[in-house]
Amino acid sequence: MKRASTLRLLSDLSDFSDASKLREVLAEEPFARVRSSPDGRHLLLLRPPGSPAPLLLVSRKGAGPGLEPFCPPGQGPVLDAFFLQCPGWASGPRPVLALVWASGRAEVWGTGVHPGWQLLQQAELCVSSKAKVVAAAALGNRLVWCEERPASTEVAEGSVQAAFGHCVCTRALESHGETSAILGAPKTLLHHCPRFQLLASHSDFFMVPTATTWPSVAHILLIWYPGKGRVTVAVPAHNVTHSKNLSPKGRDSWDFRSLLQRVPGLLSGGEPLDIHTCTAAQGSLLLLNPKGAVSLIRRDGGARAVGILGYGLLSQGVPVSLGIFNNTLACVLGSGLELLDMGSGRLLERKVLSTDRVHLLEPSAPGIDEEENKGGLRLLSASGLFCMAWEIGREVEGLNSEDLVFEEACGYYQRRSLLGARLTTDELRKGSTFRAPLALAAVLRGHQPPTKLLSDLQAELRDYHGLERLKTRLVAGDGQEEGWTELAEREVERLLRSDLTGDKLTQLNAVFSVFPAAAWCSSRRALQLQLDEAGQLKSQAPPDLWKKVLVDTRADGARPPFELLCECLCRLEPCWLPPFVELAQQQGGPGWGLGAGGPGPPLYRRALAVLGDWAGARAGALELELLLGSGRPKAVLQAIGQLVQAGQWERVLDAGLALSPSSPLLQMEIFTVLLAEFARHRQLDAHLTRLRHLCPPDLTPTDLLLLLKRHLPDEEEPPAPFPKVGADPPLTVGLLRGLLEQARSKAQSPSPYEDILWDSGACPPRPKSRHYPSQGLSSHSKEPGARISMELTQTETWGERV
């Protein structure tokens, strides 16, 4: 729905007493201090020092005179003035005015039975006549001030002792009869503290360092809770807070130095708070630095950024007023009014006012003029008293459900954030870190019914509820180890859904180093890793998630997610490393291995680099598995060479037979390596059957014999019928028969050795021998025939062997 701010005139100031003086001060003094009474019927204007009289003016709405108190001679100007509330009056609450001078003098004024203001009490706030008040604040019936105690003559001006020579004191307003009230006994709250600026907000007091505060503690502010008797020490720059009770063992005061003792981080690494303007609003403190950044300090000490204002106007020295109404930050910069959303810091509206002398007033007390000022902020100028509030447009066609979802989610995440960075709706829309608003916006685009919405967000709500219960358990101290493990798993899941760059990648590295088991379990669940029926590792995760895991992104020494997972597997599940790398290679897309400087190494090399840091007996076996599963020919041949040197013929044949269907070229290379080893020794004779299956289909017997000839050892001596003792027997044609038959069955063209090596299986017929006449032959003539017969018989025998 469309929202528009409206300014409505509540009064033109004519119904206030001393209206002419009131308009005059408002028109002439842009830096005048303006306050309203709790009932909203009195206005107090205090001119800054150096202005002409009157210095203080109290104007009353309706009948009755105002107040322009007389300043006693020698007291100087009024430092500050406040409206107090006096408890215990039977006639009901009436405004009580407290005036504070820098000299320590205080006056209490009130309205009683008689018309007009009456002086109820004159008091001295400071115990010593040489002390002076430097700051004051009031809340309810309590007046608090910071006074500078006189230093001894031995303490030099500007020294540490002089800088911590202040104290914070308080006095409560007490009823004195039916119509009178006085300030009670003074109590010292803090001793030996630096100079503070005091601001009151609802039920607490903020003690803010000033420009003259000692630099070593100028980054610290204090928050005092009078109702609880407790003080919080806060460092907004680091979101460090520490609380202590103010009444240990019956004491009602504390030494400032003891508050900072035994609290690490309070005094180290803090830059002084650079404050241009500070204002208390709705129980919190608003800080504006000279660069225009507005921060919010909550009553518990937590700090967060709100928004950024115009820097140019601040540099010109224009008056600035800050206020909060309806979760909106209102900033008056000169004659401009800016409205910012407190949750997202987005500029909602900018208005141009008719004057540059506008003051923001706190909302009036509940029950007083409720209809006039309900939910709004009041602005005071010489033109009158105005009320500012939001109006909801009636046109429904301007409804943008998606924008409303992100605005509401932005405010929610900003309130829960522990960082000082300002969160915007654009950051919620980017990536998938904040899943709930993305899912809700996607559902509302189709305006689905609530039942459908709840069913779609059931998983998100379950995760959120479980996370809240986990945080509660950790705070209570139950199940610390299990709780931190579960929290680490949730953090890894969240980071894997986001863009892993910069600080998020560094945070992921930290979680993996401290909680490796939890990080691996969470990653395995996110990637949906599981074994199928064949024992192969499979994943059902979307490609976008795999892309985040596999991209080679390095920042400030932080390892990419793939290296973190490999390192985690080396620690916990070494047997999972090779199948995980193979699965990652299957899931990887083109360009996913690119780093910041160009193309990166393949995944198996990135895994080998991680494996190099984990030397051990298992490292060599994992290296072989990674090389064999890389799918790269050079890497596979490198692994085959290592296996051949180790004589692991079974693994070599397993790898060759597994890779042969996908890469014929790699099959040929592995077969050539094994054939060379087969020609050199007889260790592969027992594996000839599997070696035959590895034979490439396009290899002919001629090619096979040529390869063998290339790798046969040179014979230095003539061949002998039997091998030497201890030596391998020589390669025979019988051993080659199986390989040649395999090559012949797959060959497409006939081999020239066809008629020699393969026959019908029967020997050729024996030739008939010649019969020579025996007459006249001597015993010597029979010897040649016998020798020929023996030679033929020997030839037939060798033919059978061939």
What is the reported pLDDT for 315? 65
Residue that wins the pLDDT comparison between 531 and 568:
568
- Is the pLDDT assigned to residue 787 strictly greater than 80? no
Is residue 537 classed exposed, middle or buried when 0-12, 13-18 and 19+ CB atoms within 10 A define those classes?
A: middle
Give 601-628 pLDDT, tens digit per residue. 888 888 888 887 665 667 788 888 888 8
In one-letter notation, the amino acid at residue 702 is T
* Cα pseudo-dihedral 418, 424, 428, 430, rounded to 10: -120
Whether the predicted pLDDT of 776 surpasses 70:
no
DSSP string computed for 528-592: TEEE-TTS-EEE---HHHHHHHHS---BTTBPPHHHHHHHHHHHH-GGGHHHHHHHHHHH--TTT
Higher pLDDT, 617 or 383: 383
Q: Supply 125's token pair.
A: 């706030």
Greatest pairwise CA separation for the chain in angstroms = 184
Q: Reduced to 3 states, what is the DSSP secondary structure of residue 441?
A: helix
- Beta bridge partner(s), residue 190: 168, 254
The pLDDT-based confidence of 365 (bands split at 50, 70, 90) is very low
Kindly report which listed range (30-34, 223-227, 513-517, 769-773) carries the lowest average pLDDT score. 769-773
- Give residue 36's identity as a one-letter amino acid code: S
Report the pLDDT value the prediction gives residue 504, as an integer from 0 to 100: 82
CA distances in angstroms from 724 to 489, 681, 730, listed in the order given: 68, 14, 10
* pLDDT value for 367: 38
- Which residues lie closer than 8 Å to 641 by C-beta, 6 or more apart? 673
pLDDT digits (tens, 9 = 90+) for 441-468: 776 666 556 666 667 667 666 666 666 6
Please, what is the Cα angle at 129 between 147 and 225, to 5 degrees? 25
Calculate mean pLDDT across residues 331-342.
84
Q: At residue 369, does pLDDT exceed 60? A: no
Q: 607, exposed or middle or buried, with CB in 10 Å at 0-12, 13-18, 19+?
A: buried
Q: Residue 313 pLDDT > 70, yes or no?
A: no
Say yes or no to pLDDT of 168 above 90.
yes
Euclidean distance between CA atoms 518 and 572, whole angstroms = 11
Looking at residue 285, its pLDDT comes to 93
Tell me which residue has tokens 């009948």: 63
DSSP state of 61: B
- Which percentage of the chain shows pLDDT scores above 70? 71
The per-residue pLDDT for 96 is: 87
- The pLDDT value recorded for residue 199 is 93
Tens of pLDDT, residues 95-128 = 788 999 888 899 998 876 666 788 888 999 988 8
Sequential DSSP letters for 255-297:
EHHHHHTT-TTSSSS-PPP--SEEEEETTEEEEE-TTSEEEEE
117 φ, ψ to 5°? Answer: -95, 140
Q: What pLDDT, on the 0 to 100 scale, is given for residue 720?
A: 62
Whether the bond into 38 is cis, omega within 30 of 0: no
Q: What mean pLDDT do residues 211-216 have?
A: 84
Share of the chain above pLDDT 90, in %: 7
Residue 246 pLDDT more than 50?
yes
* Burial of residue 88, with CB atoms counted within 10 A of its CB: 0-12 exposed, 13-18 middle, 19 or more buried: exposed
Amino acid 309 reads L
The pLDDT score that the predictor gives to residue 308 is: 84
Q: How large is the average pLDDT for residues 706-722?
A: 70
Nearest CA to 550 among 508, 587, 596, 509? 587
Helix H or strand E encompassing 437:
helix 435-444
CA angle in degrees (0–180, nearest 5) for 722-724-725 = 120
DSSP-derived pairing of the beta strands 359-361 and 377-381: antiparallel
Run of H or E residues at 123: strand 117-124
Cα 490 to Cα 508: distance, rounded to the nearest angstrom: 12
Q: Which helix (H) or strand (E) holds 797?
A: helix 783-801
Lowest mean pLDDT among 60-69, 164-173, 358-367, 688-697: 358-367
Edge-to-edge, what's the strand order for the sheet holding 336-341? 320-325, 328-333, 336-341, 347-352
| Residues 219 and 235: beta-carbon distance below 8 Å | yes
